[in-house]
Amino acid sequence: MSEKIFLLLLRLYPARFRERYGAEARLLLQERLRDEHGALPRLRLWMDLLVDLLSGLPLALQNGHGAVVTAEGLQSVPGQPAFRSLEHEPLRPSSVAMGGIFAVAALALFVFVMSHTGALHPFPGSIERLRGATSGSQSNPDVQQVAEKLERQMQSANQLERCSFEKLEQHPGNIGYVKLSWFADPAQCGAVAQAVMEHLNETDAVIFDLRDARGGFPESVRGMAGWLFDRPTAWYNPRATSQGQLVTDSPVAGSRLANVPVFVLTSSQTFSGAEHFAYNLKMLKRATIVGETTSGKSHGAVSAGGAGSGGAGAEAIPAWEGKGVQPDVRVRAADALKTAEKLAREAIGK
């Protein structure tokens, strides 16, 4: 959708400009769309495009009426297409109208996003407090403290992204939502994972979005799951290398999550370590799996830990290998979040 809008905006520029720079500009957009995820990076991308449109379009139109390359003296190669510029390209009224419409739409989108930022903000309250403070006002001595807190939150957001936590949000109804693309190495991201679980600890239901999760470290899987139980619980782990890895580290001091409804979103792209997480919570009846059957491709290795609880350590191939983890509530992956939120509100109401 973003790329289609970009191509429409690109049509506002003269034909010769598009022929020379269009492919390169489109490639740059595709790279940014691939590398920049989340609401704030996408908003920054569109603000950059808007600035480029307002500053670069007049220059492109002005320079687009320069000398026209003539066809005289150019030799055509038999069997290959030849292109000729036949006339000047005047500024069409429709181009001016489209430019105005897109500029107004972009401004309206920016105002809308900024006015709704607090709804799904991972750290609710900070934006509203900052809006209520007057910059430089002596009657609001906490302005500097709020600014420093926002700066710390931005640093935390960068840490979340580096540890594959794509989103950490509080949805309406006090539903915690976390989207993972990978269960990162606990040696590097253990503290970040703990901070995420502490944030979820303040919610009345939790949704783990693993629809795009591609695996990860079994100890990260077990570590996060430990927050969801009020006592040590047998933990299926075909890659366990010790008896300690066959039981959860529960209870976690101060955790309220052992008593809240938990939902796990899955898709056909859910893979390996993410299947490990979904499988255990399903078998232990600790979570409701919502979405599609997982990939069933974990490439499990033979365990060196020997038989443990339920014989888990003796199995060379994970139980979900080749068949995936079946959801409790089967819906399209695209509809899984909406369905889980509805189920969570119902569970909270009970």
Q: pLDDT tens for residues 198-209?
A: 999 999 999 999
Same domain, yes or no: 186 and 154: no
User: Based on C-alpha coordinates, what's the Rg of the chain?
Assistant: 27
Q: Whose CA is closest to 303, among 225, 217, 247, 245?
A: 245
Listed range (32-36, 70-74, 105-109) with the worst mean pLDDT: 70-74
For the chain, counts of helices (H) and of strands (E): 10, 6
Q: Domain containing 14: what range?
A: 2-63+92-115
Question: 0.85 cut: is pTM over it?
Answer: no
Q: How many independent structural domains does the chain possess?
A: 3
Same domain, yes or no: 233 and 337: yes
Same domain, yes or no: 194 and 239: yes
Which whole-number Å values give the CA distances from 217 to 78, 153, 163, 186, 267, in the listed order?
Answer: 60, 26, 12, 8, 19
**Regarding predicted confidence, which is higher, 87 or 97?**
97
Same domain, yes or no: 289 and 238: yes
Which pLDDT score, from 0 to 100, does residue 200 have?
Answer: 95
Same domain, yes or no: 109 and 236: no
The C-alpha atoms of residue 71 and residue 188 are separated, in whole angstroms, by: 63
Q: For residue 69, is it within any domain?
A: no
Q: What is the pLDDT of residues 289-315, one digit of tens each?
A: 999 999 998 654 433 333 333 333 344
Same domain, yes or no: 216 and 280: yes
Which two three-digit tokens encode residue 235?
Answer: 């933990």
Which two three-digit tokens encode residue 71?
Answer: 């066809």
